[in-house]
Amino acid sequence: MQNKSYGLTLFTFLVYLFLLGPLILIAIASFEPSTVLKFPLTGFSLKWYKNVFEVGLFMSTFKTSVIVSLLGNFLALLLGVPAAYALSRGSFRGKNTLNAIFLSPVLIPGIVLGFTLLKFIIISLHIPIYAALLIGHTVIMLPFIIRVIGSSLSNFDFAIEEASLSLGSSRLATFFKVVLPNIRSGIIAAVLIAFLESFNNVDISIFMSGPGISTLPIQMLTYVQNYFDPTIAALSVMLMIFTAVIMFLIERLLGLSYFTKR
């Protein structure tokens, strides 16, 4: 009994080491003073952290990333909330097909989706790059929004909607006064998850960027193709902290178990 639980602890430790090891290495390496990423460290310096803020393209692409993710999030909510509502509320013909279509971006490889968007929509409709990025990211986020809010709606008791109608409330007022407040946590979770998904996206963004307009992950990719200094490591650490803060918020608001339940 004792041995068995020691073995299990060791195993768990190894799994964590495997998962977190590279992240820890990157974090340590970001403090390397020399111009090449190295381990073990030859000294200690924060200069690469400072450098992140001095590379103008990092700052401008960060701004683009945030704007695109936030705006796209908003658009995805506008489309996704009614869609999730219709999908879990209604029983109509073609519901399953529609469900599949809305979720397909999760199943189709991002490269394929990105290429298709570029080739058949962006280029043929002459859509400007910034708008293209926005469209791409809305498409990335939509399935997450629909899925997470849909799961929240599946626990929603539609009888309370009927109660509201019977008390004289219109359908629209009922949606805002009764449905929305009861799926609020689902909406917050959906927004945060979709944001992370969009913010970290490479495979679709890469088709939607162009001269002067790019997202942070794409910019990082370009950077590592040309430089080997620890700036990327420093930036990665900052992004990890950024992500951790968002995950912490999700955990605080809903508990992570929210996502593993279904």
Partner 1 sequence: MALLQLDNISVAYDQQYILKDFNLSLEKGQLLSLLGPSGCGKTTTLRLIAGFLDAKDGSFRFEGKDYTRTPINKRNFGLVFQSYALFPHLSVYENVAFGLRIRKVKDDEIRKRVMKMLEIVSLHGFEDRFPGALSGGQKQRVAIARALVIEPDLLLFDEPLSNLDANLRVNMRVEIRRIQQELGITTVYVSHDQEECFSISDKVAVMNKGVIEQLDHPSVIFKYPKTEFVGRFIGFNNFITFTERQADGDAVLLTVNGLPFRAKKVPGMSAGMKGAIRPDDLLAGTENEISEGPNVLDGTVKVSTYLGRSYQYIVETALGEFTVNKEMLSPFENGQRIRLLVPPEKLVLVD
Where on the chain is the footprint of partner 1 (CB under 8 A)? 157, 159-160, 162-171, 173, 178, 181-182
Contact 204/110 with Cβ under 8 angstroms? yes
Q: Between residues 165 and 246, which has the closer beta carbon with respect to partner 1?
A: 165
Task: Give one DSSP letter per residue of 20-55, joined into a string.
Answer: HHHHHHHHHHTT--SSS--SS-SS---HHHHHHHH-
Rounded Cα distance between 201 and 89, Å, is 31
Nearer of residues 140 and 178 to partner 1, judged by Cβ: 178
CA pair distance 213, 221, nearest whole angstrom: 14
DSSP assignment of 198-254: HHT--TTHHHH-BTTB--HHHHHHHHHHH--STHHHHHHHHHHHHHHHHHHHHHHHH
Query: Which of 75, 183 has the CB closer to partner 1?
Result: 183
Give the nearest distance from C-beta 156 to partner 1 in angstroms. 10
Residue 60 CA to residue 229 CA, distance in Å, equals 20
Rounded to whole angstroms, how far apart are CA atoms 41 and 27?
11
Q: What is the radius of gyration, based on Cα positions, of the chain?
A: 22
Is 164 or 201 the residue whose CB approaches partner 1 more closely? 164
**Shortest separation between residue 151's beta carbon and partner 1, angstroms:** 17
CB 161, min distance to partner 1, A:
9
Q: Which is nearer to partner 1, 50 or 95 (CB)?
A: 95
Task: Decide whether 121 or 165 has the Cβ nearer to partner 1.
Answer: 165
Q: How far is the CB of 91 from partner 1 (least distance, A)?
A: 10
Rounded to the nearest whole angstrom, what is the least distance from the CB of residue 221 to partner 1 in the complex? 45
Measured CA to CA, the distance from residue 65 to residue 63 in angstroms comes to: 5
Amino acid, single-letter form, for residue 187: I
Q: From the CB of 158, what's the least distance to partner 1, in Å? A: 9
